Amino acid sequence: MVALALAAMLWMARHTASYDDNRAPFTVHGTLGETVRGRDFAVTVEKVELARALRLDAGDGDPPRRRDTYGVWLVAHLRVEALQQPLRFQRAELHTPDGYYYEADDRRVDMDYRLGGVEIVPGLPQRGVVAFEIPRDKLAGTVLEASPDRYRIAPDSVAVIDLGLTRDRVDGLLRDMPESLLLVSRYASR
Amino acid sequence: MTASRRRLLCLLALPVLAVLALGWPTWQAWSHYAGLRPVFATIVPPGAEGEYDGARWRLLETVVERAPSDHLGRRIELPEGAVSLLARFKVVPGPTTDLEALRLCEGRLRDPSGLIWTANRLSAFQPASKLPDNCGWSLGDPQNWMDMTERKATPGEPWTFELNFVVPADAAGRVEPELLLREQYPDYLRFRR
């Protein structure tokens, strides 16, 4: 009886989820162009572009402000839908195969241009961009992780999207990369 | 007490203890959960008043607009397929109403499938309004930006306010407004239209 109890305790100790496991998000996987559905959101990466610089046009008649980088800008065009209640799509990171990650640039690309600044309500999907600065040699194999929960307060769904950045594809994108990419404020037409 | 009687008592006590051991933590967990969330809706029929936090609440009307204007008369460009839904309410606080809590009330819409739209405050889709957008407090006169007078709901006096929502056009007809006060969780109000 004692041996059985000990065996049961050992089995439970080995198979009980750790704290990290308990706090881990529920990952849902997808690829470029595919709609990935989490518990309370759905996201599609419609397009990925690279550029040496960004030009931010506020639509106020002033010339666009230029944002340079020592690496490249990766701009992902997303379509996001809220499936339960209003949300802001606030967390986007690029994860490289060798363990590095790069957060979307919220400092140099302010919220008038990026998707994270928009409240997304059920039934009214929104399109927008997230922009990352990333070294050129980190592009291959990079995946996008995105979710509404910026600080991972509660374990919930996180979309992990393969951007299809194979070595050949990265070489092609870098070769055809424009000198700069124009982003227009969503308030430009108001 | 004989040994057999003691055993009988122990046997009888076991189910009671089992119920307590399972029931008490479950009740505590449920109380904690319900204290932080709106769980029980008080349904208010169309045109009727509902009682909540010692106050009487009424949905006066809902107005759906496809092309609302802002306070400067400019047309607001809503997202494609969206409409603006204004819900106007009247509340008469009672003597026991927590007036400070009133200003923290939340408004939202819910459709029959459970989808939720929260009220837009300070958003780019805020249409012109003649009423406060708060259940019991306002700073200034919505029609006069020079006026920065603080106004508060008082017991016995009606306070009229309106909340603005942006919803898909096909949802506008089937959503029901809800009002929530955190201090009153798990109870909240749902207005039939």
Report pLDDT for B126.
66
Name the pLDDT band for B1 (thresholds 50, 70, 90).
confident
Q: Give the tokens for residue B185.
A: 């969780």
Report pLDDT for B123.
58
Residue among B77, B166, B170 whose CB faces A121 most closely: B166
Any chain B CB within 8 A of the CB of A124? Answer: yes
CB contact under 8 A, A119 and B117: no
Distance CA A85, CA A104 (A): 24
- A105 vs A129, more confident: A129
Most confident of the following: A16-20, A110-114, B175-179: B175-179
What digits encode the pLDDT tens for the residues B112-154?
A: 999 999 987 655 566 667 788 889 888 877 667 777 788 888 9
Report pLDDT for B125.
65
CB contact under 8 A, B124 and A190: yes
Distance CA B13, CA B21 (A): 12
Residue B20 has pLDDT above 70, yes or no: yes
Contacts of B115 in chain A (CB under 8 A): 84-85, 122-123
On average, the pLDDT of chain A sits at 89
What digits encode the pLDDT tens for the residues B72-95?
A: 777 777 888 889 999 999 999 999
Give the dihedral sign, CA B10/B16/B20/B22.
Answer: positive
Q: At A108, which amino acid appears?
A: R
DSSP, collapsed to helix, strand or coil, labels residue A24 as: coil
Suggest the residue from B117, B125, B164, B178 to mutate for an interface test with chain A (most A CBs closer than 10 A): B117
Any chain B CB within 8 A of the CB of A123? Answer: yes
CA distance B85 to chain A (A): 14
What are residue A80's DSSP bridge partners?
A43, A126
Report pLDDT for B109.
96
The answer to whether B84 and A90 are in contact (CB under 8 A) is: no
Contacts (Cβ under 8 Å, ≥6 apart) of B121: B133, B164
On average, the pLDDT of chain B sits at 88
Residue A190 has pLDDT above 60, yes or no: no
Report pLDDT for B124.
58
Any chain A CB within 8 A of the CB of B123? Answer: yes
Helix (H), strand (E) at residue A20: helix A19-23
The answer to whether B57 and B45 are in contact (CB under 8 A) is: no
Residue A143 has pLDDT above 80, yes or no: yes
What digits encode the pLDDT tens for the residues A149-159?
A: 766 667 789 99
B18 backbone dihedrals φ, ψ, rounded to 5°:
-60, -45
Closest chain A residue to the Cα of B116, Cα to Cα: A85
Any chain B CB within 8 A of the CB of A190? Answer: yes
Report pLDDT for A146.
92
Q: Give the tokens for residue A2.
A: 């004692």
Residue A81's CB is within 10 A of a number of other CB atoms, namely 20
Name the pLDDT band for A109 (thresholds 50, 70, 90).
confident
Any chain B CB within 8 A of the CB of A178? Answer: no
- Maximum C-alpha span of chain A: 82
- A116 vs A83, more confident: A83
Contacts of A122 in chain B (CB under 8 A): 115-117, 168, 171
Closest chain A residue to the Cα of B109, Cα to Cα: A85
What is the average pLDDT across B157-168? 93
Contacts of B175 in chain A (CB under 8 A): none
Q: At B129, which amino acid appears?
A: S
Nearest to B87 by CA among B108, B62, B112: B62
- Which residue in this structure is represented by tokens 């006096």? B157
Assign residue A60 a region: left if phi > 0, alpha if psi is -120 to 50, beta otherwise?
Answer: alpha
B149 backbone dihedrals φ, ψ, rounded to 5°:
-75, 135
Q: In Å, what is the CA distance from A51 to each residue of A67, A105, B184?
A: 11, 14, 52
Distance CA B40, CA B187 (A): 5
Residue A16 has pLDDT above 60, yes or no: yes
Report pLDDT for A189.
59
Report pLDDT for A184.
86
ipTM summary value? 0.70
Report pLDDT for A89.
85
CB contact under 8 A, B116 and A122: yes
The answer to whether B79 and B68 are in contact (CB under 8 A) is: no
Residue B41 has pLDDT above 80, yes or no: yes
Name the pLDDT band for A174 (thresholds 50, 70, 90).
very high
The reported pTM is 0.78
What is residue B121's DSSP assignment?
S
Residues 149-168 of B with CB under 8 A from A: 166-168
Residue B9 has pLDDT above 60, yes or no: yes
Assign residue A25 a region: left if phi > 0, alpha if psi is -120 to 50, beta otherwise?
Answer: beta
What is the average pLDDT across B47-66? 94
Name the pLDDT band for A139 (thresholds 50, 70, 90).
very high
Q: Give the tokens for residue A17.
A: 């989820």
Contacts of B166 in chain A (CB under 8 A): 121, 124
Any chain A CB within 8 A of the CB of B69? Answer: no
Report pLDDT for B143.
67
Report pLDDT for B44.
97
- B142 vs B27, more confident: B27
Assign residue A33 a region: left if phi > 0, alpha if psi is -120 to 50, beta otherwise?
Answer: left
Distance CA B63, CA A65 (A): 41
The answer to whether B58 and B90 are in contact (CB under 8 A) is: yes
Contacts (Cβ under 8 Å, ≥6 apart) of A183: A54, A55, A56, A57, A75, A109, A113, A129, A131
Residue B178 has pLDDT above 80, yes or no: yes
Going edge to edge, which strands form the sheet with A101-103?
A: A26-31, A157-162, A143-147, A91-95, A101-103
Residue A98 has pLDDT above 60, yes or no: yes
Distance CA B184, CA B58 (A): 17
Any chain B CB within 8 A of the CB of A188? Answer: no
Distance CA B33, CA B15 (A): 27
Residue among A122, A126, A187 whose CB faces B117 most closely: A122
- A116 vs A5, more confident: A5
Nearest to B179 by CA among B65, B68, B51: B51
Report pLDDT for A181.
92
CA distance A124 to chain B (A): 6
Any chain B CB within 8 A of the CB of A154? Answer: no
Contacts (Cβ under 8 Å, ≥6 apart) of B17: none
CB contact under 8 A, B168 and A123: yes
Residue B38 has pLDDT above 90, yes or no: yes
